[in-house]
C-alpha cells in the first residue's frame, strides 16, 4: 500500500482512499488482515449498462503500476 501511495504521489495523482465492502476476493482478504488495495483502472459505472473506461484513465493506471514496480526494484 505504501508503494502505491508513493507512486501516485510521484505522479501527482490525487489519492482517494475508501474501504470497499462486498464479495470481492480483496475485500475478504482485507477482512482477514491482508490489505488488498484496489488500484484504479480508469473505469466508471462498473457492472452496469453504462460501464465505460477512458483511454486516458487506463494509461494513467498503467503509469502507476510501472512506478510501483520501479519503486519496489529500488528498495
Give the CA count within 13 Å in the CB-facing half-sphere of 51: 5
Q: Burial, 40: exposed, middle or buried (Cβ in 10 Å; 0-12, 13-18, 19+)?
A: middle
Structural domains counted in the chain: 1
Cα separations in angstroms, 70 against 7, 56, 65: 9, 21, 9
pLDDT of residue 20: 67
- Whether pTM > 0.85 for this model: the answer is no
Question: What is the distance between the terminal CA atoms of the chain, rounded to a whole angstrom?
Answer: 15
Mean pLDDT, consecutive 10-residue stretches, the chain (75 aa), reads 95 86 78 84 90 94 97 97
* Structural domain range at position 62: 2-74
The CATH number for 9's domain is 1.10.150.900
Alpha helix positions (H), the chain: 2-10, 25-31, 55-74
Amino acid at each position: 500500500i505504501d508503494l502505491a501511495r508513493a507512486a501516485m504521489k510521484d505522479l501527482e495523482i490525487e489519492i482517494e482512499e475508501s474501504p470497499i465492502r462486498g464479495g470481492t476476493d480483496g475485500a475478504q482478504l482485507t477482512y482477514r488482515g491482508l490489505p488488498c488495495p484496489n488500484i484504479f483502472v480508469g473505469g466508471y459505472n462498473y457492472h452496469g449498462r453504462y460501464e465505460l473506461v477512458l483511454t486516458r484513465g487506463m494509461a494513467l493506471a498503467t503509469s502507476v503500476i510501472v512506478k510501483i514496480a520501479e519503486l519496489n526494484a529500488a528498495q
